Chain A
């Protein structure tokens, strides 16, 4: 409500500004967010001062001929400000408040899980902000550092453009956490990308008949880079006996998937996981 009233007042004053210009305002040449500033005025006597910024509106009585002090709190938001002073007549000026120095980095990394050995699958975007959450639009050098488990860190420097810097990279060949860090001097933001095994590369199965049925299990299931596939990965075992088929979807536990098939008679066992097909084995009565 207050903002509306001041905005209306400023608008009315600006309409009147064109008719009389006895008072002058001189805006600060380089205002920075969070730094106090002063607006010089000419003339004499008391007047009403209005300030409207991106997230603030102020109205107060001032003495003409003296500087109007703007506190750090009044100038926390970067952007365009309009100052108006009215006595018998009104005068106005506009000025821009720039963001302060970067104090934090908003850092987004995608994806949170990346399969190994994929080109350009990991990307990160960094946006520097000052202590008042203003996006810093001035070019700022940002260093991206990627550190895989037991690996040598790799760095990539990129200045921000229009307040944003980004990188794109491939995943490594080993599964495990990849720490990704964006830094501006001593300001850092860390994220972790989990590099996970790709699809199973080959499946080998073995089986034997027991009193409960045929126990079939895989050898350790790995992707084409040699990483064990994550626990829980489904391996579908199939047993064909004459014109009857049995399936078990069994999860990998500690690199191995295991199931019990109740098929009777001679059976042909096989397994598949994703696009990987396993060997076939035959088990007699």
Chain B
């Protein structure tokens, strides 16, 4: 017993030392030179004696939702920024996608640094209900005494003034007969929808089938597009559907892009593609109308080609999670790519919200025109 005690004490001490070393150095030893990264794992906050450490502290506070400390470590440029407004810029409001997201990890890269100030670019990886979402932000930091502070120059969105928005929108209800009705007396045909274009391409991640579908009927339709890849011997290789990469409820004469992904499948194995469009009658509403304003193809700070613009909510209803789907055409009018993206902030009535969707670099030169539709998810409707 006397001989065992020092060994137990030694094991305990070594274990504690290893835990401390592991936690304090978890982010430091994994990083690439010049790139700081972090995860949601708890670590130790360090003194913000360098821009990297100041930024890391902010990210850790955001991950832990420690708003009070995060707010105390920034330098405000506007008195209108309150802690509440700062918090809402990170966690969103009005049931937007950001309200349901959490910061999973980040990667920070210095852009420029002097003794007095620094620029850092951070790639934020958010975990959201619709999948991982990446966000890139640039932070400006200044040296104040012994510490570095993040300059927060984002002006909070102005509060929406109280108002009454008159809405006179269209709504379609569905009345179905019951089984006791005479055969054929209450038949209502399914809406007539048609695929107006289809294109299949190979990408690094697999095959993609995309195009556009139109509701040719006079009633709203719930539409889903599926595709089956068939090999040379006539056997089905895989079948998938458009899932959320389509505007499911199409009003009369409305056109929606669709995109169907076949991960890890090369088109070289595919002889034929069988398309399948399903359309059903659904109750629907034409509200809200969302305008897609000031769209422009541009190159972002990372050198990617993006289509950016603003969504403008013309109705009096909050759109909690706007979803943008864009089709891109070449100079012959052929759909060469379909891209989509969720807008993280809720779209308030009579207000605008920016959006951006990316185009693969290999296709950027081919894009001649584009068309954007907006899918919307509202908590009131679900």
Q: Which residues of A line the B interface, CB within 8 A?
A: 106-113, 189, 191, 196-197, 199-200, 229-234, 241, 243-251, 253, 259-263, 273-274
Contacts and interface: CB of A to CB of B under 8 A. Distances in A.
B189 A248 contact: no
A273 B217 CA distance: 13
A251 B170 contact: yes
A224 to B, nearest CB: 15
Contacts of A189: 182, 185
Interface string B96-133: 00000000000000000000000000000000000000
A112 B296 contact: no
In the complex, which of the residues A241, A251, A253 has the most CB atoms of chain B within 10 Å of its own CB atom? A251
A217 B373 CA distance: 20
21 contacts: A108-B183, A108-B184, A111-B189, A191-B185, A230-B252, A232-B251, A233-B218, A241-B294, A245-B294, A245-B296, A246-B292, A246-B295, A247-B292, A247-B295, A248-B289, A248-B290, A248-B291, A249-B254, A251-B286, A253-B168, A259-B291
Given A244-B294, A262-B291, A113 B170 contact: no
Contacts of B9: none
Contacts of B310: 262
A263 B296 CA distance: 12
B352 interface: yes
Tell me if B's interface is mostly helix, strand, loop or mixed: loop
Contacts of A249: 251, 254, 289, 373
Interface in B139-173: 168-170, 172
Contacts of B182: 189
Tell me if A's interface is mostly helix, strand, loop or mixed: strand
B286 A232 contact: yes
Contacts of B371: 247
Given A106-B183, A249-B251, A274-B253, 16 more contacts: A107-B184, A111-B189, A189-B182, A191-B184, A196-B218, A199-B253, A231-B170, A232-B251, A234-B252, A243-B296, A244-B294, A248-B289, A249-B254, A249-B289, A260-B314, A262-B294
B312 interface: yes
B170 A108 contact: no
B189 A261 contact: no
Contacts of B253: 199-200, 233-234, 273-274
Nearest 3 pairs of A and B residues by beta carbon? A248-B291, A251-B286, A230-B218
A112 B188 contact: yes
Given A250-B289, A262-B310, A112 B295 contact: no
Contacts of A246: 291-295, 309
Contacts of B252: 229-230, 232-234
A112 B172 contact: no
Interface in B213-238: 214, 217-220
A243 B170 CA distance: 34
B189 A113 contact: yes
Interface of B: 168-170, 172, 182-185, 187-189, 214, 217-220, 251-254, 286, 289-296, 309-310, 312, 314, 352, 371-373
B170 A247 contact: no
A244 B295 contact: yes
A253 B171 CA distance: 11
A251 B189 contact: no
Contact of A259 (B168, B217, B314): B314
A248 B314 contact: yes
A263 B294 contact: yes
Contact of A251 (B217, B251, B293, B295): B251
A277 B379 CA distance: 36
Contacts of A191: 184-185
B305 to A, nearest CB: 14
A109 B184 CA distance: 8
B351 to A, nearest CB: 11
Contact of B289 (A199, A229, A259, A274): A259
A40 B184 CA distance: 43
Nearest to A273: B253
A150 B293 CA distance: 46
Contacts of A261: 291, 293
A241 B294 CA distance: 8
Nearest to B298: A243
